[in-house]
Amino acid sequence: MTDQLDAPVQVTDPGFVLHFRDNREPAVDAGLYRIRATQTLPGVDTGDYLAPVEEVFEVRAPQFALADDQVHAVNPAPGGHSDYSTTLAHLTLTNPLLPWMRRLDEPGRADTAPAEPWLALLVFAEGELPADPRADAVTVTMTAEELLTDAEGVRHPRIAPSQIEGDPTAPCRTVDIPGDVFAAVVPRTEELRHLLHVRDVTTDTGLRGEQLAEGAYAVAVSSRLPDRTVQARYAAHLVALEGCRSILADADEGRLTHEVTVRLAALHSWSFTSDPAPGGGFAGRVRHFLFDSTGKKRDLLLRLPPPPAGDGSPARTTALARLESGRVPLPHRLETGEDTYAWYRGPLTAEPAQKLPDTPESGWTSAAQLMVYERAWGLFDAGWGAAWTLGRALALADADFAATLSAWHARARARAAAMAQRLAAPGLGTPASARDAAAFHARALGPRPFGGLLEELAADGTAARLLRAATHPAVARPVPPPPDPARHAPAAGHRGAGRAARTAALLADPPTALRTALAAQLAEAAEPVTAWLRKLRLLHDLPFSALVPDESALPAESLRVFYVDPGWLTALVSGAAGIAITGELDAAVARIAAPWARGDEAVTPRAGVLIRSALVRECPGLLVRPYRGHGDTRKPIAVLRQDTLGPDVLLVLFENVPDEIELAEPPEGLSFGIDTDLEGRRTINLRRVDAPVAQEITGEAFPHPTGPGGLDAHLRPDPAGRPAVLDLRPADGAGLLRALGARLTALGQEAAADFGPAGLATQLVNAPLRQLITREPAR
């Protein structure tokens, strides 16, 4: 299984149709409303008959707290650890109206259209919030009344008591932000509306892959990028800005200092760690899987690295062939007590494995039967024998499984003996010819073996004659004496010997009807045994050293592909299933009626992937997709198992050997952020805003020309002074928004002249990355 490698590309078939919209303003804001209706009749004095009518109603929306079910998703994932230096955190709300249901204005003031949203997603690094120095998204719980109470040096939302909805003593979570930190991180007032948009999702069942949830959602995007030079932890807070226009104005003008604290309600909070170390993140780690530091392709097969060059002796040539197949030399003690070494290979191989010899009639009953002796070199290949021994040890270690398997064998022996006795019962007769054998066996082995015989007696009148003879005896006849017990008793020590002999003889060459009947009657009892052995066949509960006997075959930060040896799995299952076989009768019954012995158990894996990397921990939803064929005609292969075997080890088993394997970032809906060019400069890869919307404009990025600093010229400094916050300035031609729109217009995108929140989201959206690994055809 050799590989051709392509550079990571963006997924283009996410399985949904997506539309970004600037906003979805409600018909009325949240609050109390009074409706007064009056009626008049021209020229008629109605007096009090048509009195005015008043009704009071309330439009409610979250104000100081937000239920968890109102948050559809966040990105990065809570607790995530990866390279997020190009990612803008975002939060998706289930209610698409919510960000526009309240106002920034304080009592007595009125907004002008278009209304700014009252929500913002702010991201803070460790050490920036005094109450949360480690950026664990810590908040302080207090009541709404306490939040709105004046305190020295604290700026808080200006909301009148009459504007508090619900219970003013209800708890809410708050965050205290130093004034200078708030001013550096919060978007300018004019920028707020560009960082919230509405996402409409409709699924397209014609596309493959996981799909986003269908519906309309509001999306809040942060304007701050994590640091790209050092690892740091960040806390993200969705804050409420209702009644905060004056605070925002002071932030816009730089009037907030470190001595001032801005206290806001935190509606939702989470934290993540950004690690921009070289080789971090999906793209960096996958590239490390595939290429070394010089750009040379790595060997992706699961086997030891080749030893240093040596002579071309037959012994060395043979040893190299064993190593290339995935075998490793391990210490081995012979039955005679001598210490030597043997070749070992687990179920995961670097080449298609040699076929296991046909299973003997009595099954594999010992590891010695499965040891392969290489006479030319005086060595054993212990792989299959070790599998048999391991299966037996795992089965004996599971007391419940051992008891269930033993109970099944006991029941199977009893059922087989009962069926043998039925076939030998004189009342059922014997088949007159081979042509009658099927009918005879069906009657004898059916649920009512003597029922058919009684029905035949009744049908031809024999039953009636027997009844008449029993109730009206014509002549009294002498009763013969009973037989001599001594002549018919079984010999001492041979009680039941005849029954056992009949059963053994029958099972030696059982008729088809017996095979079918016995398997059917034991099927339900076999289910828990079959389920346990199916898991074993998928390598559950095996020690990792049995899969990868030498760590050098799977070093840290590596990916390896492999074939699966079906013979090794057969030996493993044989060892486990054999713990309850005590003789030829058990072996024969298992051969006839046990699903695991007949070969109709679960599908056997044929290939797979092992990943040992921090990527397993950083991307818990990592997708591994195998395919047969190439391009548009390829067909997906079933993934039989995908499990983490440790914090940084992922095992994936496939139903068949794939031609292509696709690694992809988890489709967590969408993510937003920027890009980097080959020189590491930050850029934005441009997308169309005219139809077809969101399609990348090949080879075009912003800024153009890129310049030595890339996008840094359009980033404001964060609290540490590093360029990290989008400098949108929508009213300024030098701001990011206008400059980005001008570049798109120059590229023929006329819609860029009216560049709003939806247009910005289109440029910042980042689809999950994927990496394709292709198996070269055999030469």
Structural domain spans, the chain: 14-20+62-280+614-622+665-779, 288-306+323-423+509-603
CA torsion 699-701-703-704 (nearest 10°) is 20
Alpha-carbon distance 310 to 52, whole Å? 105
CB atoms within 10 A of CB 216: 16
Matching residue, tokens 């207090």: 142
Q: Are 211 and 15 in contact (CB under 8 A)?
A: yes
Residue whose C-alpha is closest to residue 224's, from 131, 75, 86: 86
- Most trustworthy range by pLDDT among 401-410, 618-627, 675-684: 401-410
* pLDDT of res. 605: 94
* pLDDT of res. 500: 62
* pLDDT of res. 753: 75
pLDDT tens figures, 16-69: 567 889 988 887 777 778 888 888 888 888 777 788 888 888 788 899 999 999
Phi first, then psi, for residue 7 (nearest 5°) are -70, 155
pLDDT band at 459 (very low <50, low <70, confident <90, very high): low
Please name every residue paired with 682 in a beta bridge, in sequence order, or none if there are none: 676
Distances (CA, A) of 74 to 101, 119, 311, 634, 668: 21, 15, 59, 33, 9
Residue whose C-alpha is closest to residue 644's, from 665, 666, 616, 621: 616
Residue 517 parent element (H or E)? helix 512-537
Alpha-carbon distance 778 to 634, whole Å? 18
Take residue 346 and report the two structure tokens written for it. 């687990």
Matching residue, tokens 């009947």: 517
pLDDT tens figures, 698-724: 889 999 999 999 999 999 999 999 999
The mean pLDDT value for 239-255 works out to 96
CB atoms within 10 A of CB 379: 19
Alpha-carbon distance 748 to 20, whole Å? 21
* pLDDT of res. 372: 86
- Most trustworthy range by pLDDT among 194-208, 348-362, 428-442, 560-574: 560-574
* pLDDT of res. 6: 37
Alpha-carbon distance 64 to 265, whole Å? 6
* pLDDT of res. 434: 46
Top-confidence residue, 234 or 619: 234
* pLDDT of res. 211: 34
* pLDDT of res. 368: 85
Quick check: 749 pLDDT over 60?
yes
What is the DSSP track for 91-116? EEES-TTGGGSS-SPPTT----SSPP
The mean pLDDT value for 644-648 works out to 92
pLDDT band at 433 (very low <50, low <70, confident <90, very high): very low
* pLDDT of res. 204: 43
pLDDT tens figures, 467-513: 555 556 555 555 556 555 544 444 444 445 555 666 666 666 677 77
* pLDDT of res. 209: 31
Cis bond upstream, residue 76 (ω within 30): yes
Of 237-251, 323-337, 500-514, 612-626, the range with the lowest mean pLDDT is 500-514
CA torsion 191-748-684-91 (nearest 10°) is 50
Q: Does the predicted model carry a pTM greater than 0.85? A: no
Helices marked H in 224-272: 245-252
Residue whose C-alpha is closest to residue 687's, from 733, 755, 631: 755
The mean pLDDT value for 258-280 works out to 91
Residue 617 parent element (H or E)? helix 615-618
Residue 320 parent element (H or E)? helix 314-324
Terminal Cα-to-Cα distance of the chain (whole angstroms): 11
Alpha-carbon distance 704 to 684, whole Å? 10
Q: Are 135 and 126 in contact (CB under 8 A)?
A: yes
